[in-house]
Structure 1
Amino acid sequence: MTERLYYQNAYATKFMGRVIFCKEANDGCFHIVLDKTLFYPEGGGQPGDNGVLGGVRILDTQEENGQIIHYGDKPLEVGIEVRGEVNWTWRFDLMQNHSGEHILSGIICNKYSCDNVGFHMGKDSVTIDFSVQIPSQDLLWLEEKANEAIWRNTPLSITYPSKNTLEQLEYRSKKELFGEVRIVQAGEYDCCACCGIHVRFAGEIGMIKMIGAQNYKGGTRIELLCGKRALTYLQRVNQAASEVGRKLSVPEDKIDEAVSKIQSERDMLIQEVKKWKWQSFLMKIEQLPENAKDVLILADELSGKDMAKLADLAAEKKNGRAMVLTPSQRGYAFVLVSRKKDAHVIETELKKQFNCKGGGKEEAVQGIIEGDENILIQFFEEKGFIYAK
């Protein structure tokens, strides 16, 4: 069994160890086992360490059947003693985020008498799943309470209680535990069984920031950032807010008011555009040839809804068929409305002569058609449609 030096001192990064196993695996890495190591293997929701071992780059660290496996990009000779160095930037980032997760989870579980049923620490953020739906109005209070532990520089202690002591201790655990149990306690905020590595004092976490909360499988999933991750996120958000404020010519704390005003003005303009668009449609319908029962209309920059409205107005006015075409990236978008209930028949003929994709009912079909404009006009004129220029 490899001696786990990281439990003796999570802040140590350099050590000497002897290679007792090395073999190339199917994953393309060399699986290296030492007699002792500072490299933490993935476990307890915390990713494994990476770094350098005897000049070999260690990409990941895992545990298999009680052995700690270092995933190296090159082999090491069995029996030699090598110098190892853990990537401290990565290690400390994980310690900050894991410790912050403990504090927030402890607060939430105590307040709502719920369970932490899921925990994942990715390279970008931490997600925690709880077995209860957390009211959205409580989120700011929970975040402030978690940061309170940082302001107090609350100690995080590691103990291995005796069986009798453990039976009297209230602690969080996702499963029933046997044998020696490692307890991580963060003052009044949390007491949890955990195999991960943590900071000694909450002040080292720096900051706890929730960036998302959503209903998930009947409970709540929270997305979390701690330490430098939180700082980087807030710097990015602040920079974006400053840029938006500059473009709107308002202070950052007035952005929401400015955006609300813009949204109100936008809604008024949308209604105004709809009114004028409707008037233009009616005028176009009035200008259709009187003797036409079936009409072909080419119009620029119409949405699917607008095409459907125009086609329906024309078909209703003429009590016949109306084909509306508007240019698109792949040719023409179309809507065909037929009071004769033969839209599918025409669509089938279009598919025979053109690259046409669409569908609908006998009363109306829509889709995309590729083809030359003049050839399309000729096709519909042969079907009795009058081209309304």
Structure 2
Amino acid sequence: MRIVPFRPPSAPWRYGAHGSASREETAMAFRCQRDSYAREFTTTVVSCRPAELQTEGSNGKKEVLSGFQVVLEDTLLFPEGGGQPDDRGTINDVSVLRVTRRGAQADHFTQTPLTPGTEVQVRVDWGRRFDHMQQHSAQHLITAVADHLFGLKTTSWELGRLRCVIELDSPSVTAEQAAAIEQSANEKIRDRLPVNVRELSPDDPEVEQVRGRGLPDDHAGPIRVVTIQSVDSNMCCGTHVSNLSDLQVIKILGTEKGKKNKTNLIFVAGSRVLKWMERSYGTEKALTALLKCGAEEHVEAVKKLQNSAKLLQKNNLNLLRDLAVHTAHRLRDSPDWGGVVTLHRKEGDSEFMNIIANQIGSEETLLFLTVGDEKGAGLFLLAGPAEAVETLGPRVAEVLEGKGAGKKGRFQGKATKLSRRAEAQALLQDYVGTQSAEE
């Protein structure tokens, strides 16, 4: 989980390339900051240069996209900052895949070049933007209420894809405290308190009254302050609602143990509450159909199923152990005993194979056991004379396209292709034949 320190992030957006502040940098913020509700506007392309963007694909692997970094005269798309993710949108219908801050500029990554000097239409993905506005303003409100009611200080926060987390500087937060914070926050939403954004001069006495953890040493220009009427004033660069009524509702989902003796408060606000309820109801409906009981009985029904599963698992394990002992004796007493002895069983595990190996002992016979899908993946075990097993174990693993390890006459591991068991068996038989010929 990526946690962003709770600090005033507005100042770095005012810096020039060498630390000096230009007139534009000291006098204005981006359009998205000046009017968070604006959905489209016209501006001019300043520059466009080749660039690459590292992303994470649907399979979780890192991917590198080739494209361009576009700088606009002004932007409607918010660059990541203050714990708030960046916006998505379009420039002349060209998709913007990432927006990042570089000094006082915003870089827009696109896969289509845009000509400098061209007038362009910028549109924001309003659903994503408004969701971020709701969550960010809700965080300000919860942070202020938690501090006012219980002296709980916010040290960091995360605006996640499904839920948000506020890290509180306390080893614990009781359920009663969380409920009181939620109730107070929702009362303020129902009071329709206005939220306004101002820019203060650094030497304005009011700055001392604004919540924050201090300005960066190289700060230049005005200080952006977000104020919830009669509740909170905080330095912030993010986009926010103009009235708490736009938050609709806040739901605190619970708490988790945080890092360094802190507590994470988990919440959702606005449209996320509705989506959370929709998902929860869908899950409840599915469980009702599967468990054949009402929602109020789901927990007890699942507990009974878990107990039954544990009992069945225990009985199955005992039967598997008995079967392993019986199988070992059958193999040991077989007229075909000696040389290379193999056995495959679809149902089984490492313990099953080890019981067989323990019952039989190594002696001069190579015992090759496998369990799992005959045409797919599974487990294998090779037991026998220590010198032979040490030599053959890694080679068997290679044939089965797996990995393993071993010592003292036993080598075992995972195989991705049990379909190659016959090749592994042939390898073992060739080795035994060669040893016999040498003797």
Same fold (TM over 0.5): yes
Rounded to whole Å, the distance in 1 between the matches of 2:395 and 2:125 is: 64
Distance 1:273 1:349, change over 3 A: closer
Retained in 2: the 8 A contact 1:184–1:194? yes
Q: Deviation of residue 345 (structure 1)?
A: 2.6
- Which residue, 241, 252, 255 being the options, matches 1:199? 241
| Residues 1:22 and 2:47 aligned together | yes
Distance 1:198 1:285, change over 3 A: same
Q: Deviation of residue 92 (structure 1)?
A: 1.2
Q: How does 1:218-297 map to 2 (within 5 A)?
A: 219-221=262-264, 224-287=267-330, 288-289=332-333, 296=341
Query: Counterpart of 2:212?
Result: 172
- Which residue, 394, 405, 408 being the options, matches 1:359? 405
Aligned length: 374
Retained in 2: the 8 A contact 1:199–1:205? yes
Retained in 1: the 8 A contact 2:45–2:119? no
- Which residue, 21, 29, 32 being the options, matches 2:71? 32
Query: Counterpart of 2:35?
Result: 9
| Residues 1:310 and 2:338 aligned together | no
Structure 1 unaligned spans of 5+? 385-389
Query: Counterpart of 2:388?
Result: 345
Distance 1:70 1:382, change over 3 A: closer
Distance 1:215 1:174, change over 3 A: farther
Retained in 1: the 8 A contact 2:198–2:226? yes
Cα deviation digits, residues 163-207 of structure 1 (max 9, x gap): 22332x261336558663333233566442112121122231234
SS of 1:346's equivalent in the other structure is helix
Cα deviation digits, residues 234-293 of structure 1 (max 9, x gap): 312321221122111112232111110000111111122222223333434454429979
Query: Counterpart of 1:334?
Result: 380
Q: Give the partner amino acid of 1:116.
A: T
Distance 1:359 1:48, change over 3 A: closer
Distance 1:351 1:236, change over 3 A: same
Structure of greater relative contact order (alpha carbons < 8 Å, 6+ residues apart): 2
Query: Counterpart of 1:387?
Result: none
Q: Give the partner amino acid of 1:89.
A: G
Retained in 2: the 8 A contact 1:296–1:380? no
Name the stretch that deviates more: 48-57 or 374-383.
374-383
Retained in 2: the 8 A contact 1:331–1:371? no
Distance 1:286 1:29, change over 3 A: closer
C-alpha root-mean-square deviation of aligned residues, in Å?
4.1
Q: Deviation of residue 125 (structure 1)?
A: 4.7
Distance 1:347 1:164, change over 3 A: same
SS of 2:333's equivalent in the other structure is coil
Distance 1:174 1:116, change over 3 A: farther
SS of 1:371's equivalent in the other structure is helix
Rounded to whole Å, the distance in 1 between the matches of 2:267 and 2:142 is: 9
Cα deviation digits, residues 56-80 of structure 1 (max 9, x gap): 55555444332345556442452x6
Rounded to whole Å, the distance in 1 between the matches of 2:274 and 2:434 is: 67
Structure 2 unaligned spans of 5+? 1-23, 53-66
Q: How does 1:67-78 map to 2 (within 5 A)?
A: 67-71=105-109, 73-76=112-115, 78=117
Cα deviation digits, residues 26-59 of structure 1 (max 9, x gap): 342252332x554434332223444344565555
- Which residue, 84, 97, 103 being the options, matches 1:46? 84
- Which residue, 340, 357, 372 being the options, matches 2:422? 372
Distance 1:174 1:243, change over 3 A: farther
Rounded to whole Å, the distance in 1 between the matches of 2:378 and 2:287 is: 37
